[in-house]
Structure 1
Amino acid sequence: MSATPTLTERAGALFHRYANPGRFLRLGDRIQPWLTWSAVLVTLTGLGWGLFFSPADWQQGDSVRIMYVHVPCAWLSSSGYFALAVCSVLSLVWKHPLADLAAVEIGPVGACVTATCLATGSLWGKPMWGTWWVWDARLTSVLVLFFLYLGHIALIHAFDDQQRGYRAAAILALAGAVDLPIIKFSVQWWNTLHQPASITLSGAPTMSHAMLWPLLISTLGFTLGFAAIVVARLRAGVMESRIRSLLSSPRRAASGEASA
């Protein structure tokens, strides 16, 4: 009599089930419209509420409305890189079939989000600090994260052997993950101009609920949008990989017949 599989075993079986590119494409076909339309609706709701109906801050005035874009991008810049590091572990340790392709598609989206985070942070910093940029611990560590994204993208395409590029990029992603806790705790470890987090797991939010709810909705919308873009890119990447394999098969067969 076989033992009942544990929750971990069932989760592992489900994980490997959708590691198959064909199954992933079928799953992606089903969830892509839901992700896309929910991202559009939730993001428009959050941004509309935050930009036009939420109150201005008593100190920062209307410039605080930049946070409805800046904070979601800041969250996604770190969480996107964390996903990149997870894909690297899956690739290096478990040889996950989709991990390398997922990392390839996450990198450019994460880089764009991080660039937006830096740009909106500068726009917010100018009226608050009187300058577009300071070598603050938080700003500098996020800039390093942006360069890590660019380095990951460059390494993937730096080798003639694609697998070597995947492996080198995965190692860089894992090494660069040390920057994530530095970004998170920089405002606590060093004396910085950047304000501490207004939302924490250990305490109540330090902002008005009239500002908190549109911020949370915007963050959810941006997260759904990030996922929708990555899934769409990954579906295209899987199909492109399949087409390349089909095109290369006749060439390999022809070269084999010629050598024979």
Structure 2
Amino acid sequence: MWKTIGSFLHRLASPKYFFQISGKLVPWLAGLTVILLVSGLYLGLFVAPPDYQQGESYRIMFVHVPSAWMSLFVYVFMATLSAIHLIWNIKLAEVMVRGSAALGASFTFLALATGSLWGKPMWGAWWVWDARLTSELILLFLYLGYIALVSAIEEPRMAARAGAVLLLVGVVNIPIIHYSVEWWNTLHQGPTVTKFGKPSIHVTMLVPLLLMALAFQCYYFTVALLCARTELLERERRSAWVREMLAGSEAAVDLPRSG
């Protein structure tokens, strides 16, 4: 079993194999994204009942919460891939990191923006220097800092290493974001979905929330793989497998003409 997994991972590290398998995964992930997104939005906006305290305004959580979850997930994923790149020098890991940075920043910005829209009617202010909000804002700066850093360094290998170090150092902010509502007395709402022993959210609200979270995750992998494929073609444009693939594509286009 472990030998099979190791063999698969070894093949996945090959740019040619990664390009082939990602090309097959993208359409399925895109279709799954649409199905989950439509289902989650329908159940969240039209089936789930109003909250007994917040009324209809709570429905923004079906976008806010998945965005916040994804902002953390993407950063941890990027940091893990960066460690893999530093230790084993696997180029594809760094390619996936490059393709994920803008997505992670977008999720973080969306979480902050929707949180502000929810906070205005609930707290009476668009922004408060709450521990959760402040640490999430720092996460946005980490994403933007990574993008700026790797863009400022012309040498690709040095840029990848510098970006990886920044990501690994910034990981310390992730547990601060997650546990901030427990460590400090904050205005932000405490955990609800993860309280399985004493659930704080009704199943009619939990199901669409989880569907939206899965939709956001499928969307992330769809776009991240597309970005990685584009970056990979740019880097490997002079390699033999890219030339063979382009030659095959041109032959397939010319085939009907010759018939």
Q: State the superposition RMSD in angstroms.
A: 1.4
The aligned residue for residue 200 of structure 2 is 206
AA of the residue aligned to 1:100: E
Give matches, 1:155-234, under 5 Å: 155-200=149-194, 203-234=197-228
**Residue 45 of structure 1: aligned partner:** 39
SS at match of 1:157: helix
Which structure 1 residue ranges, 4+ long, deviate > 3 Å from structure 2? 7-10
Matched, 1:105 2:125: no
* Letter of the structure 2 residue corresponding to residue 49 of structure 1: L
How much has 1:9 moved relative to structure 2? 4.2
The counterpart of 1:128, out of the listed 115, 122, 128, is 122
1:76 correspondence with 2:63: no
Structure 1 SS opposite 2:53: coil
**Could you tell me the TM-score, scaled by structure 1's length?**
0.89
Q: Distance in 2 between matches of 1:228 and 1:217?
A: 16
Aligned-partner SS, 1:76: helix
Equivalent residue, structure 1, for 2:112: 118
State the Cα deviation string for residues 149-183 of structure 1 (Å, max 9, x = none): 00111111111211111110000000000111001
- In the alignment, the residues of structure 2 paired with residue 68 and residue 115 of structure 1 have an alpha-carbon distance, to the nearest angstrom, of 15
Identity %: 45
Taking the aligned partners of 2:166 and 2:3, their CA distance within structure 1 comes to 30
The aligned length equals 240
Say if 1:244 and 1:125 are closer, same or farther in 2 by CA, change over 3 A.
Answer: farther
Question: SS at the partner of 1:243?
Answer: coil
- Rounded to whole Å, the distance in 2 between the matches of 1:201 and 1:152 is 34
- Residues 20 and 97 of structure 1 are in contact (CA less than 8 Å); yes or no, is this contact kept in structure 2? no
TM-score by length of 2: 0.89
Provide the residue aligned with 2:253 in structure 1. none
Q: How does 1:130-145 map to 2 (within 5 A)?
A: 130-145=124-139
**AA matched with 1:72:** P
- Any gaps of 5 or more consecutive residues in structure 1? 1-6, 247-260
Name 2:147's counterpart in structure 1. Answer: 153
Taking the aligned partners of 1:127 and 1:222, their CA distance within structure 2 comes to 26
SS in 1 for 2:91: coil
Structure 2 unaligned residues grouped into runs of 5+: 241-259
Letter paired with 2:105: A
Amino acid at match of 1:134: V
Residue 251 of structure 1 corresponds to none
Give the direction of change, closer, same or farther, for the CA distance of 1:30–1:125 in structure 2 (3 Å limit). same
2:5 equivalent to 1:16: no
